[in-house]
Chains A and B, each alone.
Chain A
Amino acid sequence: MACCLLVLPLAVRANAITLSDSCPAGFELTRGQCKLRSLYQLYPSLEDAGVGGLKTGLPAYRDGFSPQQIDLGRYLFFDPVLSADGSVSCASCHQPERGFADGLGRSLGASGEPLRRSAPSLWNVAFQQRLFWDARASSLEEQMTGPLYDQHEMATSPEQLLATLNGIPQYRELFSQAWPQDFQAPGAQIRLDHVYLAIAAFEASLISLNSRYDQYAHGYADALTGPEKEGLNVFRSFVARCAECHTPPLFTNQQIAVIGTPEPEGLPFDAGASEPLGEPTLRGGFKVPSLRNIELTAPYMHSGRFATLREAAAFYTGGRGHAVPEGENLKIHWHIWEPNLSDEELDRLVDFLATLTDESFKPRVPAELPSGMQPVHNEFARQGVPPEDGAPIDE
């Protein structure tokens, strides 16, 4: 590990980078802050909870970061220098071209071993009140200390992270662009809260609210085809009941639900949220994931048991508790029942889910990283062949 501290700053010297002074798409620059703008802000929502129907306002969200903080976060997000051995970046498990997930049932850590659960998509993470499948973190800053310091993931430490970044002049320059007031004194150091805030700022800029579904919701009836509208009606019907937990406009109600999905063959039962929350009745419970861009993030469920959306949808018609291991007595959610959906209804559900795809605000991958390292998130050895439709790269 110590080798990297010495070697990395000596790697190819990057060209000077200037952080962007414009907000990412979807944000208005006002008084130095990037504020989210969306047609959904036209609509009210009951008790300001941000759950409802088509024309319902958004849940509470994070915004108000400066353009420079967001752009700095983008560099950090893609830079493998944040990991102990320089082998992985945040983007390794949250790849822009895979819906900010990684296409794996269980993500791979720095060692290449599968981790316990799958990497969730980061699209619209600005709206998430609780992070991780088991809801154990309540802010993006808290969340990222998980993978950064987990010995199976990026495996660094706060000391190593700060030493690495402070050892790279380019990063010291960029942090001073993002926090000029904190870097006036000579010898001012990059702090952990700077690092966390910058990455949070970038993550919170990943907004996806312009799908064809959204065009339909805002009033354009022809945005969806006939079969997709049928799918919407199955989705929100009280037979399938999908919308009761995957509630518009974010397609999650952000609650924890015990639904009893199976693990991949041979894996032990995952107790989920009951452990961090100390609530035994939530055994097997997980945070309801948003379904936006869900088409892009197969395989599905917390450990990737279902390869396709069709299989994931079919789980819900398999019968209440049908996949619960023997000996487990779970408090299965009341909306899990036997809706007896037909094959055609399942097909229509999949049709509808694909209308929730929108990557129009996809950020660019930095062409050069401040560390001088190369982005690693598309490396063949880790993930197999990357999708042909790669992410746009800075020009």
Chain B
Amino acid sequence: MNKATMIIGAVVLLAGGYFVGKSGQKPATVIKVDSEPKAAFTSSGAEEVAAATTQGALVRSLVTPTSGELIIVSEGESIQDAVVAASPGAVIKVMPGVYKETVYIDKDNITLSGVIEEGRYPVLEGEGLRNDAVLYSGNGVTVENLYITHYKGNGIMGQAGNNFIIRNNFIVDTGIYGIFPQLGKNGIVSHNIVSGIEDAAIYVGMSDNVDVVFNQVFESVAGIEIENSRHALVEANFVYNNTGGILAFITPGLPIKTCGDVLIRNNFIVDNNHENFAIEGSLVSNIPVGTGVLVMACDDVVVEGNIITGNDSVGITLTDFSLAGNAANDPESEPNPNRPRILNNIMRDNGNDPAPVVRAALAAMLESTGPDIVDTVGMDDGCILNPERYRTIGLGKYTECEFSTTANVASYMLPEPVPGRSMEDLDKGKLAYYGVCAGCHAYSARMIGPPTQIIQALYMDNPQGIADYAANPVKKRPDYPEMPPQSHLDEETRLAAAEYMLRVKEAAAP
């Protein structure tokens, strides 16, 4: 990649921010006492969450539904075999021992839970050979109490599963992402200890309504990353000795193009000065060593109550895509970090040894120490409380925030689990009839199979007969090919399709 261009770009942007922020003499510190209480915090979509909390509902009360089915996996057995055998609602308990496999869960409501005996965890061992430790696509999946190490890809990766719980896991020296829920809605990532990850230790990608809380994250390139997601709470995490601590990003070129309403609250973001060992070409390879919080293009980010100390480049950086100089632009992604809100944070000892790219930018401003906070864009819709406490660049147009706390949003998780089905059209029989059966059966015309009208005359009020025949068809009509078995549809769907087949009346064309 063209590093020279990127550095020059950054210098210009930082210098621009400098000009915005430091033109003129610095005013004397004004000491204020509020005479009226500040306004309450609001964010789009927070109402539903806030309302539930005020009604006394338990915060983060999400559970994976269980049926009572219990499967115990002991050392020497396969966890995947247990997943294959499990029905939705099963709890799979994995005894301490070493398991060398990839576990994939393409079912709903599965609890994959390690049993811990005297501090001994079940270990998923990738041996540097296997790709990912745990993949899930089902809804309502819990993954807990596992020790995952030496995989090449991800520790725990979700693809579109909603209502997920990922907690109490150790993930050590494992590939690209430690924990990576992607394209999911409503989930929690809590009490995990993640280290030695080449990209983000915890990475919430293209997701909605996720809480990342009480995790310990270190010695990774990025600690916690919220990317192209909405309504994420990152709270009470211990994030230290990564290249960058906590990130809220838009990555250009993804199909879901917004990021917003991210609360970064009450975290310890300390000494994130680890060498950047990211893979060439990855977005996080651009993160300067010594970055505490980095907000790139993500909107409505609130940074509140964090202890941000000892990060050698900058405490908080707000920027646009100019940081991602190695990626193609996306004309459909809005690049600015709109409406940043910086409430009270404890910041100290940041910027003591800036990374070369930051140092070069600072040198253009005759500075050698990195600031606590920099806005490289010079946003004019940001706000900050008590700006005099920090060394800042580019915050000249920030106003005073109208609220001082986000305490009214205890969680961004939903008060009720996301329903498993779309509300669009719930007639499963109709969808199966037109979506599957219609490949061979037209209403009145002969296709590959006999017309629906003939089947209606034959079966009348016996849908079960159709459903059973479709599961195990035999050759019936000499002038038609034998029907292929439709046992891939479950019993309920087959019966619903048969019922629909018997009642469908094709409307005459207008």
Identify the A interface with B (CB < 8 A). Answer: 21-22, 25-30, 32, 37-47, 49, 51-57, 66-68, 209-210, 215-223, 229, 233-234, 236-240, 243, 247-248, 253-258, 277, 279, 281-282, 285, 320, 329, 331-334, 336-337, 360-361
Contacts and interface: CB of A to CB of B under 8 A. Distances in A.
Contact of A233 (B84, B102, B160, B431): B102
Interface string B137-149: 1110000000000
Nearest to B425: A41
B253 interface: yes
B185 A334 contact: no
Given A22-B443, A238-B157, A336-B281, A223 B135 contact: no
Contacts of B507: 29-30
B161 A53 contact: yes
Contacts of A233: 102, 104, 131-132, 135
14 contacts: A26-B434, A38-B435, A44-B185, A44-B419, A45-B422, A46-B160, A220-B488, A220-B489, A233-B102, A237-B154, A248-B160, A255-B330, A281-B327, A331-B328
B490 to A, nearest CB: 6
A41 B489 contact: no
Given A25-B439, A54-B160, A238-B175, A219 B137 contact: no
A331 B327 contact: yes
B454 interface: no
A256 B426 CA distance: 34
A219 B132 contact: no
B472 to A, nearest CB: 15
B159 interface: yes
A317 to B, nearest CB: 13
B442 interface: yes
B483 interface: no
Nearest to A220: B488
Nearest to B321: A281
A338 to B, nearest CB: 8
A333 to B, nearest CB: 7
Given A27-B434, A42-B421, A233-B135, A210 B253 contact: no
B424 interface: yes
A341 to B, nearest CB: 9
Contacts of A25: 434, 438-439, 442, 447
Contact of B509 (A26, A27, A52, A67): A67
Interface in B278-293: 279-283
B401 to A, nearest CB: 28
A33 to B, nearest CB: 10
Contacts of A47: 208, 256
Contacts of A49: 255-256
Contact of B255 (A21, A219, A222, A247): A247
A337 B281 contact: yes
A42 B431 contact: yes
A360 B435 CA distance: 10
Contact of A285 (B175, B176, B328, B436): B328
Interface string B406-429: 000000000000110110111010
Q: Which residue of A29, A320, A333 has the most chain B CB atoms within 10 A of its CB atom? A: A29
Nearest to A59: B255
B2 interface: yes
Q: State the 4 A-B residue pairs at the shortest beta-carbon distance, nearest first.
A: A52-B160, A53-B160, A37-B434, A21-B509
B131 A37 contact: no
Contacts of B319: none
A85 to B, nearest CB: 36
Contacts of B282: 334, 337
A237 B131 contact: yes
B229 to A, nearest CB: 9
Given A41-B422, A42-B428, A239-B131, A210 B439 contact: yes
A240 B440 CA distance: 37
A222 B440 CA distance: 22
Q: Which residue of B253, B421, B433 has the most chain A CB atoms within 10 A of its CB atom? A: B253
Interface in B309-348: 326-331
B131 A52 contact: no
A237 B132 contact: yes
A46 to B, nearest CB: 5
A360 B255 contact: no
B255 A253 contact: yes
B35 to A, nearest CB: 43
Given A38-B431, A41-B422, A209-B435, 18 more contacts: A22-B445, A25-B442, A26-B434, A32-B510, A39-B428, A40-B435, A41-B424, A42-B426, A45-B160, A46-B256, A49-B256, A53-B160, A221-B84, A247-B183, A282-B328, A332-B281, A334-B283, A337-B282
A257 B253 contact: yes
A256 B329 CA distance: 10
